[in-house]
Amino acid sequence: MGKSTPAWVVANAWREILTRIFENIETKYNASPAWLVNPATKRRLKLDMLYPDIGVAVRIEGLTGKQRRQRLSLEEEDQQKIRLQAREEICRAHQIELIVISLGNEPKAAFRAIDTALGRAKQQAKNSDTVQQINQARATAAGLSHRILAERDLNLYADLWQDRQYQVPEPIGTTAVSTEIPAYEVGMEVEHTIFGPGVIVSVTPGDNDTLLLVDFITTGQKTLAASLVIDKLSLRN
């Protein structure tokens, strides 16, 4: 990832990272709780993610409208800072620790903000189950922070988030056909339900998953998590 990488791509990478950090914790996306109101304008403010069970929320800063082609004016930047400050103060008043991820900063700044917020949330936890959830989230974040050192390292997670969006939830009451991951090998010809035909370039086993680098004919190379494409990536005969 270079300086020209669109902000929304970086944001998608952080959405994937946060999904992994807060796995199995109830998540409310694009939340605008009734208590989160800007005192100056009386309008509700938005949170990108809210984890009510552990008292943590996330706000991703740096995204702009699709049609915007120029930087914010000084007045707009001041208004943005005021909204952010109000959001942080109101969240704190309602015992919600707000994690602010600024897309222009290095990953270590975001991971530091995540760890600080989780540490404070742990101090306010009211039961052992919540403490355990926070400890697990903290451990996952620490592990990811050792692998994501620069903006270029976010590219993998942006791809993983994109693939996650193609997952179709299984209807309630149905039984999965199979959860066994095929034995993927370099050189195998495969077919993805979205990206079409391709060839596996590399297979990288990890602690919790296997990462596949696939060279697709129509869309180029993409890195996929084997567990997320088990029903979308088939071997070509």
Same domain, 102 and 15: yes
Same domain, 213 and 148: no
Higher pLDDT, 7 or 97: 97
What's 228's domain CATH number?
Answer: 2.30.30.390
Q: CA–CA separation, 195 vs 199, rounded Å?
A: 12
Same domain, 122 and 21: yes
Q: What is the mean pLDDT of residues 81-94?
A: 90
Same domain, 12 and 53: yes
Same domain, 27 and 127: yes
Residue 226: pLDDT over 80: yes
Beta bridge partners of 191: 197, 234
Residue 176 lies in a domain: no
Same domain, 147 and 211: no
Q: What is the mean pLDDT of residues 52-69?
A: 76
Residue 171 lies in a domain: no
Residue 58 lies in a domain: yes
Q: What is the pTM of this model?
A: 0.71
Same domain, 109 and 73: yes
- Mean pLDDT, the chain, rounded, equals 85
Residue 60 lies in a domain: yes
Residue 154: pLDDT over 70: yes
Residue 170 lies in a domain: no
Residue 200: pLDDT over 60: yes
Our measurement of the distance from residue 101's CA atom to the centroid of its chain's CA atoms, rounded to an integer in Å, reads 11
Residue 221: pLDDT over 80: yes
| Residue-level pLDDT at 181 | 76
- Band (116; pLDDT cuts 50, 70, 90): very high
Are the C-beta atoms of 60 and 48 separated by less than 8 Å? yes
| Residue-level pLDDT at 169 | 52
| Residue-level pLDDT at 67 | 36
Residue 115 lies in a domain: yes
Q: What is the mean pLDDT of residues 41-45?
A: 88
Same domain, 201 and 113: no
Are the C-beta atoms of 82 and 43 separated by less than 8 Å? no
Residue 54: pLDDT over 70: yes
Query: Phi and psi at residue 7, in whole multiples of 5°?
Result: -60, -35
Same domain, 53 and 98: yes
Same domain, 136 and 60: yes
Same domain, 125 and 199: no
| Segments forming the whole domain that contains residue 150 | 7-154
pLDDT per residue as tens digits for the range 119-130: 999 999 999 999
Residue 1 lies in a domain: no
pLDDT per residue as tens digits for the range 155-186: 889 988 888 876 655 444 444 445 577 889 99
Residue 163 lies in a domain: no
Q: How many domains does the chain have?
A: 2
Same domain, 111 and 212: no
